[in-house]
Chain A
Amino acid sequence: MFIVRKFCSIATLCKTIKPTNFTEKLFKQQDHPTLCLTAAKQFHGSAVHLREPKQDAIVIGDGDRKYEPQSPYRRHWPKRFQFVTSTRFGPTLPRVNKELKHQLPFNYKDKWSDKSALQGANDYIDILGDGTIHPVDLIKGPAFLIGYNANELGRLNRRLRFEGRYLADNFPSELEKILKRIKFLRKKYNYKRGKRVRKRFKYR
């Protein structure tokens, strides 16, 4: 019963209250001499602001007979006007009047270019075609990697099988690096792996 009464009373009182307009507040602060110094005050907030009385209070009578009825929404003002200080600020200010230097151009990706519109063409050519062509033939890259996926040891050994003679004749230093790496990986994969494999000894 008590709860129902409370709701009823609140509903009737809500009609008498006039909500403040947000724009009115802004214009007031702009007109005020001390407050209009900060540019984006509404967004940012300031350390110092004035407390002003609300204009939505209920006042009955004029002159000496002026009084405010007791209500849960009565205002507590007029009080002594005071300055309020706070150390809390809002978010950072936008750089409105600043010039942006070293601005990188934002390039939109062309999703309908010749390359990206028909990117997956001929992937099902062994099903929908004669059967002589395999989608592996579409891959472009070094010959020792087409149709081959293995760990580093396998890749290096296969590279030697394909390009060993060429490297020995023209790039001996690179060949030496490959052989060193193979020696290291052979030991790592075969002697230094246990039940629980740490990141260091994974097959990469």
Chain B
Amino acid sequence: MLGQTCRKITGSLNVSPRIEFKRYLWRNSICQQKIDITLKYTDEASGSKANKEPTLYEKFLKNPKSVPLITSRKLENCNKYRQPRQAWLETLSTVEDHKLGMLDLHPDIFAVHPRLDILYHNLRWQEFYKKIDYNWTPSRGDLDVSGGKQMPQKGTGRARNRNRSSIMFRTGAKPLGPKGPRALFYMLPKQYRVQGLCTALSFKYAQNNLHIVDSLEIPTDDPEYIQDLIDTRFWGFSALFVDDTDYMPENITYALAEFPSYNILPVYGLNVRDMLKHETLILTLAAVEKIEQKLLFHSSRNKRSSKFSMDTRYDQY
């Protein structure tokens, strides 16, 4: 009922003389005149063929590689209230910087809130969970020493003592020193590690240090090619190339072998510490898709991760 009444009112309003008078005023106003002028000039410009620029479509018909295309990537489980971030698709096949297209990146991975505490926890975990401390100091029972008295109780001017293993002696025991090989092992919860990767990637994207490339194939074997490429694009003093699988193209492996600060990794080797150590991150398209798939799968997974315990690793007990 309400909708019908509204429609009647709006129908009557458009026909009323008051609104028609307003439209008449608007058309004769200066704003509308300016708009009319611009449209007239644009029509004239498009009409004349002398200074006409070829349109994108005409350029594409001649040479499809000369025009940047907007490729729409399918993002899975994208939040409708969050817009996807965009990045250029570049190449390594030329020293100059040519863009092949534009990609959509998932906001839950490349636009995460910058949480420094998660990054700190990840870095600390990476440093300490592999450490084994081999320091050992002997206690009184560990020293191979006879139990007899060193000197008579009285008579000598020295302090009284029993064993050579006592703490007062220079060659004696250390009472509360480090004892035995000790492991500093602990595991972070899986969500902390997943979010650590997401924050590192979002930091790299936000600071313009992330570049996406179609593939890591290079025309030559020369290391100077890579150096020129990185210098012209201002990618910095250190770069990390990430590919989909273990098998890398031949030329890039020979070229990057001479540079200690330019490194290659597969996707499963990616980690927070190496991402922050190298200035720029260069991902291939296939690597981006793999990373997104894995991180989204694990971020929404509530199953408790299998602990390193007797249930899962019985053969080692």
Measured CB to CB, the residues of A under 8 A from B are 112-114, 117-129, 134-136, 138-143, 145-149, 152, 155-156, 173, 177, 180-181, 184, 199-200, 204
Q: Verify B316–A152 contact, CB threshold 8 A.
A: no
Q: Does B255 contact A (CB under 8 A)?
A: no
Measured CB to CB, the residues of B under 8 A from A are 126, 129-130, 132, 139, 141-142, 144, 175-176, 179-187, 190, 193-194, 197, 238, 260-261, 263, 265, 267-274, 277, 290-291, 294-295, 298, 305, 308, 313, 316
The 9 closest A-B pairs by CB, nearest first: A120-B273, A112-B260, A129-B268, A141-B132, A120-B271, A121-B269, A145-B183, A147-B308, A120-B126
Q: Verify B130–A128 contact, CB threshold 8 A.
A: no
Q: What's the Cα separation between A138 and B295 when bound, in Å?
A: 21
Could you name 10 residue pairs across A and B whose Cβ atoms are closer than 8 Å? A114-B260, A117-B263, A121-B265, A121-B271, A122-B271, A124-B193, A134-B308, A143-B316, A146-B185, A181-B139
Q: A149-B183, A181-B142 are in contact. Are A128 and B129 (CB under 8 A)?
A: no
B178's nearest neighbour on chain A, judged by CB, is A204
Q: Verify A128–B274 contact, CB threshold 8 A.
A: no
Q: A117-B260, A117-B263 are in contact. Are A128 and B184 (CB under 8 A)?
A: no
B259's nearest neighbour on chain A, judged by CB, is A112
Q: Verify A120–B272 contact, CB threshold 8 A.
A: yes
Q: Verify B185–A147 contact, CB threshold 8 A.
A: yes
Q: Which of A143, A149, A180 has the most CB of B within 10 A?
A: A149
Q: A112-B260, A118-B265, A184-B141 are in contact. Are A155 and B277 (CB under 8 A)?
A: no
Query: Which A residues lie within 8 Å of B193 (CB)?
Result: 124, 127
Given contacts A112-B238, A127-B294, A139-B185, 12 further A-B contacts (CB under 8 A): A112-B260, A114-B260, A117-B274, A120-B274, A122-B269, A125-B268, A128-B267, A136-B185, A140-B130, A149-B183, A149-B184, A155-B182
A134's nearest neighbour on chain B, judged by CB, is B308
